[in-house]
Structure 1
Amino acid sequence: MISEGKNLRRGWTTGTCAAAATKAACQALLEGHFPPIVEVTLPGGQRPAFVLAQETMGAGFATAGIVKDAGDDPDVTHGAMICSTVRRSDHGSGITFRAGKGVGRITRPGLPLPPGEPAINPVPRKMIIAAISEVAGPHADMEVEISVLDGERLAEKTLNPRLGIIGGISILGTTGIVIPFSCSAWIHSIWRGIDVARAAGLTHVAGATGSTSERAVAAHHHLPEIALIDMGDFIGGMLKYLRDHPVSHVTIAGGVAKMTKLAQGMLDVHSKRGLADLEALAQVARDGGAEEDLALQIAAANTVAGAFEIALEAGLDLGDRVASLAWTTASKVLNRPDISLEVLVFDREGGLRGLAPFAPTGHSEASQS
């Protein structure tokens, strides 16, 4: 694929690497030697090939390792050693999975697998089972232990601790392929956060665009960590999932610039998707009673934060007006009277600059008029 004039390499998910390592280890266990190259079948039918980075055999087991190549994606697991240790198991037991060192274990309900299970997601499990079947047949009885070198440290850079996955990273992947700078991984983490909150019985979740607004909304409502959804720029992605998987109270929290974008109808508020319209913000100021000179200063500001400061110095606080418009944009996505929505606007220091209070979203214009 091409981005900003550069050819970007695709890579392989941890699930693909685990499946390839498992196939190689299974072959070594059965045949007494490791293959020089190992191929696996992806969900889409592709057949990538891998060279092993680690080979170990012992009494009743074989271990193979593959270094994950995420292509040009800034993936925290790029370069990680994904290992699989395969052992024979009791007749009729089928394929069983274990979390080795560096692979997490699920401790909370709401995820695709129940508490107590290794954090090896369903699609990677299917890929691993298929890889074993290619070597040992469809009725093989094997124990598969997946481990990741330094996985505990890597997991600290992910949402696993918040989701209740402890001890390491998750083995993930739905297509087997990592697409550089894809938003899909983040969107899926948002969904899983909502699933975990719902499974825990929470009635209030808060999506924040960044760490400052997340800390601020947590303090504002005294929310537990499990209620906090790291939605980043993907406000629409969070709202659409909540529309189908409702929680009775939803808070959207963000800085002045991103909430201004939401107020102007943008559900993806990344800077690459466009900048806030300062002229439109100036019109909001006019609607709030600003004189034309002040409105022109707002329109000419360098940043949204600067525009807010100009307005505040003149005695006009734009925060509540922006929050109300942002509420209207977001409520149209939810559009459920059983979901009450709130929007909070924070400055760079975490100070509350605007509030649209909780109101049902089934009749957006009437609720926030």
Structure 2
Amino acid sequence: MAARLREGFTTGSAATGAALAALHLLRAGCAPGHVDVPLPPFSSGSSTPSGPRDVAADVAADAAADAAVDAVATDGANDAASERGDFPTPRGWLRLEVAVCGHGPAPELAAWPEFAPLFAEGGSCGHAVGAGHSAHPRVAHASIRKDGGDDPDATSGALITATVVENFAMAGHTGVANAATGTDAAHSPAVSIEGGPGVGRVTLPGLPVPVGEAAVNPTPRQQIAFAMRHGALVFGAGPCPPLRVIVSVPEGERLARQTFNPRLGIVGGISILGTQGTVRPYSHQAWKATIEQGLAVAAATGCRDMGLTTGRRSERLLMDKYPHMPQRSFIQVADFAAFSLKAAGGMPFDNLIWGCFFGKLVKLAQGHAYTHARHAELDMEDLARLCRQCGASCADQVRHCVTAAHALELLLQDKAGNDVIALTGQKAAAVAANFAGRHVRLHLFHTDGRELLAL
């Protein structure tokens, strides 16, 4: 029996946990070893903030037995919340270990020109906001090490940091409205959320974050805002002044070069993402979301042609064929043939272009909507029938081939092999056009870089 793959958590959950830990230090006076992070989506209708449960099982399969154990927030905190307004209910809670927690701003934030004046001695980032509050802001920071589980990406292992500033002037700062989390504005602190060093900034339209803003997606913003308001009630007594949360990633600018961010027009760092808070290993939904986002950016920035490829090597080869097309006009769609072609076909591109190697071409010709080897086996008998139809003498050998690469080499040595390749390409182009709802150009490449077919 195969071992269950270990789940991880998003950069959004990591940023939320870091902000919670920093708030805990400010409100309760001590640095926590772990925090319980609320998971989106949030549903309305609960009159109290649900207490966190130990859900370590969400990230570690061998901790499944602990999932039923409740570590509910104190009754006093729940009673206080009930008196102060309605709270939505998170999907669940995720317990995360705190890597760093201390007073003052994160080191990378204090050294950044945009924020350094706010934390300089004698500087001011706020003013008195009401009776009982000091005119001087209080600041703490914390970090969570992001864990992608058994589906690691470029950000897995990175420190995601949040600096929380308590008691500052909200004027001029954009944040998440109280209405976004369903809380009562009269009894919950205002929360401002922004990006610091290592968090990318959006420069192109088509993304869920407006141009010019930090690449902290809407759901993580909601997640952080909910956590801050819940934490303000649970950590310490008394009303909480306005809170400013600044997310930073010490290695974010370097890590971003290993992601699709530069192609999407997100510069200077990684994105803070996550619609569920947790990461399922090899998530189909995550890849589909990336495809959709890439298509949206390409369309919003006026790209006329769209190049879809099944991987990095085929993408490089297709880029060489179309040097006039900007990088954002190319998307690696992996095995999601039907999904990506349908999505691209419904957008206002003049031309759709498909680039692949022989194995994916054969699977597309055989009508597979999803071409992963586990779900779409090559039908060598069908390929052999095409060989016989074109008079290729290698038909019987092809029928017994295990891999498409072997079959291709046999075809390239056969006098009628090019006819078989062309017929396979025509069938694949017809299937692609059916998925997309319109014509699709097709390019077949050899793994040595040669172009074998262009339709």
Question: Could you say whether these structures have the same fold, taking a TM-score greater than 0.5 normalized by the shorter chain as the test?
Answer: yes
Equivalent residue number for residue 52 of structure 1: 98
Q: SS at 1:47's partner residue?
A: strand
**Mapped pair 1:87 → 2:161:** no
The residue aligned with 1:179 is: 280
Question: Aligned to 2:248, which of 147, 154, 163?
Answer: 147
Cα deviation, residue 175, structure 1: 0.6
Matches within 5 A, 1:11-30: 11-30=8-27
> Any idea what SS the aligned residue of 1:43 has?
strand
Per the TM alignment, residue 333 of structure 1 is displaced from its structure 2 partner at its CA by: 1.7
- The answer to whether structure 1 residue 309 and structure 2 residue 388 are counterparts is no
Shift of residue 140, structure 1, vs aligned partner: 5.8
Shift of 1:23: 1.8
Whether the aligned pair in 2 keeps the contact of 1:23 and 1:38 (CA below 8 Å) is: yes
Equivalent residue for 1:72, pick from 146, 150, 160: 150
1:246 positional shift: 4.1
Kindly indicate whether the alpha-carbon contact (under 8 Å) linking 1:319 and 1:355 is maintained by their aligned counterparts in 2: no
Deviation at 1:133, TM superposition (A): 1.1
Cα displacement (A) at 1:304: 1.8
Once residues 104 and 179 of structure 1 are traced to their aligned partners in structure 2, the CA distance between those partners, rounded to angstroms, is 24
Note the C-alpha offset of 1:349.
2.0
Query: Aligned partners of 1:348 and 1:76: how far apart in 2?
Result: 26
Find the counterpart in structure 2 of residue 297 from structure 1: 397
Partner AA of 1:161 in structure 2: P
Alignment partners' CA distance in 2, 1:104 and 1:182: 23
Distance in 2, matches of 1:297 and 1:217, equals 31
Equivalent-residue separation in structure 2 for 1:301 and 1:30 (angstroms): 67
**Once the two structures are superposed, what CA deviation does each residue of 1:174-231 show, in whole Å capped at 9, x if it has no partner?**
1111111212222211111111100111111101112222122112122221111111
Mapping of residues 246-325 of structure 1, within 5 Å:
246-287=348-389, 289-291=390-392, 293-316=393-416, 317=418, 318-325=420-427
Give, in angstroms, the shift of residue 83 of structure 1: 0.8
CA contact (8 A) 1:319 1:345 kept: no
The answer to whether the Cα contact below 8 Å between 1:95 and 1:140 also exists between their aligned partners in 2 is no
Residue 37 of structure 2, aligned match among 35, 40, 55: 40
Q: Is the 8 A contact 1:207 1:231 kept in 2?
A: yes
Q: Which residue of 2 aligns with 1:62?
A: 140
1:26 touches 1:62 (CA, 8 Å); kept in 2?
A: yes
Match of 2:3 among 2, 6, 26: 6
Please give the alpha-carbon distance, in whole angstroms, between the structure 2 residues aligned to 1:11 and 1:237.
25
Cα distance between partner residues in 1 of 2:170 and 2:329: 44
In the alignment, is residue 211 of structure 1 matched against residue 312 of structure 2? yes
Is the CA contact 2:170–2:192 (under 8 Å) kept in the aligned structure 1? no
RMSD: 2.1
Q: Counterparts of 2:382 and 2:330 in 1: how far apart (Å)?
A: 31
For normalisation by structure 1, the TM-score amounts to 0.88
**Deviating more after overlay: 170-179 vs 298-307:** 298-307
Partners of 1:322 and 1:354 within 8 A in 2: no
Kept after mapping to 1: 8 A contact 2:9/2:147:
yes
Closer, same or farther in 2 for the Cα pair 1:139/1:267, shift >3 Å? farther
Give deviations 1:256-305, integer Å, cap 9, x for gaps: 11111111111222222233222211112222x215x4321222334323
1:364 is matched with none
Q: Say if 2:345 and 2:352, in contact at 8 Å, map to a contact too.
A: no
Query: What are structure 1's unaligned runs of at least 5 residues?
Result: 357-369
Q: Between Structure 1 and Structure 2, whose CA radius of gyration is higher? A: 2
Q: Distance in 2 between matches of 1:213 and 1:47?
A: 41
Q: Is the 8 A contact 2:170 2:242 kept in 1?
A: yes
Aligned equivalents of 1:125, 1:91: Cα separation in 2: 16
Shift of 1:84: 0.4
2:206 to 94, 98, 110: 110
Cα distance in 2 for residues equivalent to 1:153 and 1:91: 32
When structure 1 is superposed on structure 2, of 15-24 and 134-143 the one drifting more is 134-143
Identify the residue that residue 236 of structure 1 maps to in structure 2: 338
In structure 2, C-alpha distance between the alignment counterparts of 1:216 and 1:139, rounded to whole Å: 57
Tell me, in whole angstroms, the C-alpha distance in 2 between the residues paired with 1:36 and 1:216: 49
Distance 1:22 1:267 in 2: 42
Q: Which residue in 2 is equivalent to 1:344?
A: 443
* SS of the residue 2:38 aligns to: coil
Is the 8 Å Cα contact of residues 203 and 267 (structure 2) preserved in structure 1? Answer: yes
User: Which letter does structure 2 place at the counterpart of 1:24?
Assistant: A
> CA 1:139/1:230 → structure 2, altered by over 3 Å: closer, same or farther?
farther
Kept after mapping to 2: 8 A contact 1:100/1:147: yes
Secondary structure of 1:56's aligned partner:
strand
Distance 1:213 1:72 in 2: 26
Q: 1:124 aligns with which of 220, 224, 231?
A: 220
- Take 2:334 and 2:348, find their aligned partners in 1: how far apart are those partners? 20
The 1:139–1:353 alpha-carbon spacing in structure 2 relative to 1, beyond 3 Å, is farther
Structure 2 Cα separation of the partners of residues 199 and 95 of structure 1: 31
1:139 positional shift: 8.9
Q: Kindly tell me the number of residue pairs found equivalent between the two proteins.
A: 348
Write the letter of the residue equivalent to 2:98.
L
TM-score of the superposed pair, with normalisation by structure 2: 0.72
User: Which stretch of the first structure deviates more once superposed, 87-96 or 156-165?
Assistant: 87-96
**Equivalent AA in structure 1 for residue 335 of structure 2:** D
Note the C-alpha offset of 1:71.
2.2
Partner of 2:326: 224
| 3-state SS of paired residue (1:19) | helix
